[in-house]
Chains A and B, each alone.
Chain A
């Protein structure tokens, strides 16, 4: 019985105007996004090959991450060039584009397309599942057969999910294959695995919005009111809550402004250098003082900032959308947690350099090891919250489907 409903749903979808508009839009957007972001990645890679530190240069640079094509996240911040010297860590200028329009709108990466557009598409598939059939009078006919309501609902859900997910999945796979053919962008086995996980998450994300659509459809009598409610919920979940959550968290946690930090740092080193030129104390003690104060600032900031991120995450989890963004970017290695770990590595590198210089002052910074950052392994990312976010999405899915089942069992089909 379920298979008959699934078949019917798939066929009726395939014959609808909606299906073609949506699939065409999704395909065009995903392909465009891959093309644009792959080009962006290659440009950043070319820049990286220019600024790559030569042996002996005290510079910490991490190459751009190929997964940033799919989830750009903070990759731009992580691929900056950090020049280490006795006065601290200096960010090399000139890696950003001079085109200020980039700063106005978020990057159109795969994650953005999924987050904003596929969620909308999933709602468009779900919003009229029950109310339309009722309006058309076919729901009565269906229930006149020996078909259980639960079976019908499950069949509807599956049929729609398949028509949505299969074309999307094929387009994404095709796009990924094309991107991967480029010799500049070879994904390693680990990266391919991460990408696979992101894709699975994406399917859960789409499923969540489909469940939401069906739920609201079983709660309303008319398809048009169902759509109105859903669009407002969508705007709240996708746009308003995640962005507002971060702002609310800032109200609760005192984090010094970036400007205050950088001013403190420059005050520390100019003071110490001045004292040094005045011959107060020896060079090593001044360098140690600069480094120690800088690291104290950094440690304090990190503690507060982590608290802020944790709180923002907790608030944001009201909306599964934020959880999805967090999980996907962390898995891709472009998330907030990864960036924090990376910065700690840079600070550690700076300290190891300083220790060497202080130990042998005349050698300069010539023969120290190059900076290398290894991304956190997948299992640590998953246990560190990504798994929770994924589970959260699944819980939302099950919950919404159960609710729609409850509502559908009581639905008046007349």
Chain B
């Protein structure tokens, strides 16, 4: 009986006008996007190798230890997955003078975007009249007049409808993969396929969640026209409003001082306040020395000091002690103030982390945000990859620093008179930065909570639809 019901749902859907339209749309948009993104990826690969060659040429001619940090910036190499998902890799480079304004105005479209926006809307278009439409046609009464249990009907509805919805999506995804695979110059490895499998699973959960939500809304309405109104309202809130407002809400609830203010404060601590403290400590220490060396209490000009130091060993000792005491006082002041500066910066960092966490938590109310974070983390294009990349950069920075120190020490041992910091030298044996993606296992374990959350949302909406349908009045 169940199979009959599922079959009926699938057939009814496949023969419907919306199925045709959505299949066409997805079959055009997903492969077309993939094709363009693949081109873009290949272009970025070319660009990266060209730039690398330029840096090598430059280093052969002008490599020197000073100021070379700006030339050898670590960078994230383009990864094969950029042909499908861009995530944060398409940033606008606001840190550079020549930033790219277009992605800010028109965010890039990729698989995540299509799944989150187009697929969720399609799911609701498929689901809004699943129950109310049957009621309007009068077929729901007929169904229930047979020996059919309501739980069976609603299960079959969600299973059949979900299957027909996923068919065009998976089909277009397969076409997209063909688009990627027939291009020379792009090679997917095992971990990419693994990530793709997980992303597809997430997309299936996401689509099913919206389908269940649509069926639930349909069971709350007697007419299809009001059902679609509510569906769209809920969709707008979940997909278009909550994620965009979440960081702003978080900045309202957990304010952070602006970075500019923090740097201002740090500069004040390290400069004016340090000077005040240094002078105070110096005066204290010197007044302690005056008892032992009365000569220090006298006001002497620099010339007189010099004269005294040459003539009188006691004075020399006194002045040496004074210099040492001053040095100690200033060292102490520097130490205290750098601790204060570090504390101010640490506090700001902690506040920023807290705000980011809160923004993420608020946005998790929206399945769109959950899927976006999960998919980008899985494919090394999201927040997790940023942290991973900065870790790699730090490690390389330490390596490179050690290399520079070692080389300079060697060269200075050879010729102590030359200015080795500003001399072109051979640096072909320097450690080079290699970007490697994080291992798949780490990415997957990070994405599991997100996948679980998507599944959980789906389950909740399914349960709601189920319970609501049991009480539905089919007349």
Taking Cβ atoms with an 8 Å cutoff, the residues of A that contact B are 17-18, 21, 25, 29, 32, 36, 39-40, 43, 46-47, 50-51, 73-74, 76-77, 80, 82, 88-91, 93-108, 112, 116-117, 120, 124, 128, 132, 223-225, 227-229, 231-232, 235-236, 239-240, 242-248, 250-251, 256-264, 266-267, 270-271, 273-274, 277-278, 298, 301, 308-309, 312, 316, 322, 325, 329, 335-336, 339, 343, 346
A76 and B94 in contact, given A108-B244, A274-B64 (Cβ under 8 angstroms): yes
* In the complex, residue of chain B having the shortest beta-carbon distance to the beta carbon of A74: B101
A77 and B92 in contact, given A46-B258, A95-B260, A229-B21 (Cβ under 8 angstroms): yes
Name the A residues within 8 Å of B422 (CB-CB): 274, 277-278
Partner of A298, one of B37, B98, B107, B363: B98
Partner of A99, one of B71, B352, B372: B352
Interface with A: B228-236, B271-279, B441-449, which one?
Answer: B228-236
**Cβ of A312 and Cβ of B102 under 8 Å apart?**
yes
B67, CB-defined interface residue at 8 Å: yes
Cα of A257 to Cα of B68 in the assembled complex, Å = 21
Partner of B117, one of A43, A239, A308: A239
Supply 16 A–B pairs (Cβ within 8 Å), ascending by A.
A29-B241, A101-B359, A105-B246, A105-B363, A108-B241, A124-B229, A128-B225, A227-B125, A239-B113, A242-B106, A244-B29, A246-B102, A262-B93, A263-B55, A270-B71, A278-B423
Name the B residues within 8 Å of A80 (CB-CB): 94
**Cβ of B109 and Cβ of A243 under 8 Å apart?**
yes
Name the A residues within 8 Å of B92 (CB-CB): 77
A245 and B106 in contact, given A258-B99, A260-B47 (Cβ under 8 angstroms): yes
A267 and B58 in contact, given A47-B258, A232-B25, A257-B44 (Cβ under 8 angstroms): yes
Partner of A261, one of B18, B98, B359: B98
Name the A residues within 8 Å of B305 (CB-CB): none
* In the complex, residue of chain A having the shortest beta-carbon distance to the beta carbon of B237: A25
Extra 12 A-B pairs, beta carbons < 8 Å, given A98-B355, A260-B50, A274-B62: A21-B229, A36-B245, A39-B248, A74-B105, A93-B259, A94-B262, A105-B247, A231-B125, A242-B106, A329-B105, A335-B105, A346-B97
**Cβ of A251 and Cβ of B36 under 8 Å apart?**
yes
**Cβ of B88 and Cβ of A104 under 8 Å apart?**
yes
Partner of A235, one of B47, B71, B99, B121: B121
Partner of A21, one of B50, B106, B233: B233
* In the complex, residue of chain A having the shortest beta-carbon distance to the beta carbon of B360: A101
Contact with A along B418-442 (1 / 0, CB 8 A): 0100111000000000000000000
* In the complex, residue of chain A having the shortest beta-carbon distance to the beta carbon of B252: A39
Partner of A258, one of B96, B107, B252, B258: B96
A116 and B245 in contact, given A262-B98, A266-B70, A274-B62 (Cβ under 8 angstroms): no
Name the B residues within 8 Å of A316 (CB-CB): 106
A143 CB to nearest chain B CB (Å): 23
B202, CB-defined interface residue at 8 Å: no
Name the B residues within 8 Å of A262 (CB-CB): 93, 96-98
Name the B residues within 8 Å of A94 (CB-CB): 258-260, 262-263
Name the A residues within 8 Å of B33 (CB-CB): 244, 247
B40, CB-defined interface residue at 8 Å: yes
Name the B residues within 8 Å of A256 (CB-CB): 47
The majority secondary structure among interface residues of chain B is: helix
Taking Cβ atoms with an 8 Å cutoff, the residues of B that contact A are 17-18, 21-22, 25, 29, 32-33, 36-37, 39-40, 44, 47, 50-51, 54-55, 58, 61-62, 64, 67-68, 70-71, 73, 75, 88, 91-109, 113, 117-118, 121, 125, 129, 133, 224-226, 228-230, 232-233, 236, 240-241, 243-252, 256, 258-264, 349, 352, 355-356, 359-360, 363, 369, 372-373, 383, 386, 419, 422-424
Cα of A108 to Cα of B261 in the assembled complex, Å = 26
**Cβ of A243 and Cβ of B108 under 8 Å apart?**
yes
Cα of A343 to Cα of B419 in the assembled complex, Å = 38
A247 and B109 in contact, given A39-B252, A97-B251, A223-B225 (Cβ under 8 angstroms): yes
Partner of B67, one of A108, A132, A273: A273
* In the complex, residue of chain B having the shortest beta-carbon distance to the beta carbon of A80: B94
**Cβ of A247 and Cβ of B36 under 8 Å apart?**
yes
**Cβ of B121 and Cβ of A231 under 8 Å apart?**
yes
Cα of A344 to Cα of B224 in the assembled complex, Å = 56
Cα of A213 to Cα of B244 in the assembled complex, Å = 27
* In the complex, residue of chain B having the shortest beta-carbon distance to the beta carbon of A346: B97
Cα of A277 to Cα of B67 in the assembled complex, Å = 12
**Cβ of A259 and Cβ of B75 under 8 Å apart?**
yes
Cα of A229 to Cα of B108 in the assembled complex, Å = 24
Name the A residues within 8 Å of B349 (CB-CB): 98
Name the B residues within 8 Å of A261 (CB-CB): 96, 98
Name the B residues within 8 Å of A73 (CB-CB): 104-105
A263 and B102 in contact, given A77-B94, A240-B29 (Cβ under 8 angstroms): no
Name the B residues within 8 Å of A273 (CB-CB): 67
The majority secondary structure among interface residues of chain A is: helix
**Cβ of A103 and Cβ of B359 under 8 Å apart?**
no
* In the complex, residue of chain B having the shortest beta-carbon distance to the beta carbon of A123: B232
Cα of A77 to Cα of B241 in the assembled complex, Å = 24
* In the complex, residue of chain B having the shortest beta-carbon distance to the beta carbon of A271: B62
**Cβ of B94 and Cβ of A98 under 8 Å apart?**
no
Cα of A36 to Cα of B241 in the assembled complex, Å = 12
Cα of A77 to Cα of B258 in the assembled complex, Å = 17
Name the A residues within 8 Å of B224 (CB-CB): 224
A115 CB to nearest chain B CB (Å): 10
Name the A residues within 8 Å of B241 (CB-CB): 29, 108, 117
Name the B residues within 8 Å of A228 (CB-CB): 17-18, 21, 125
A8 CB to nearest chain B CB (Å): 19
Cα of A258 to Cα of B104 in the assembled complex, Å = 14
Partner of B229, one of A18, A229, A270: A18
B227 CB to nearest chain A CB (Å): 10
Name the B residues within 8 Å of A21 (CB-CB): 229-230, 233
Name the B residues within 8 Å of A335 (CB-CB): 105
**Cβ of B232 and Cβ of A120 under 8 Å apart?**
yes
**Cβ of B40 and Cβ of A250 under 8 Å apart?**
yes
Partner of B260, one of A47, A271, A322: A47
Cα of A21 to Cα of B360 in the assembled complex, Å = 28
Partner of B22, one of A77, A232, A298, A312: A232
Name the B residues within 8 Å of A346 (CB-CB): 97
Cα of A339 to Cα of B101 in the assembled complex, Å = 8
**Cβ of A105 and Cβ of B244 under 8 Å apart?**
yes
Partner of A77, one of B71, B99, B352: B99
Cα of A36 to Cα of B36 in the assembled complex, Å = 35
Partner of B424, one of A82, A98, A243, A274: A274
Partner of B243, one of A98, A104, A271: A104
A199 CB to nearest chain B CB (Å): 20
A27 CB to nearest chain B CB (Å): 13
**Cβ of A106 and Cβ of B244 under 8 Å apart?**
yes
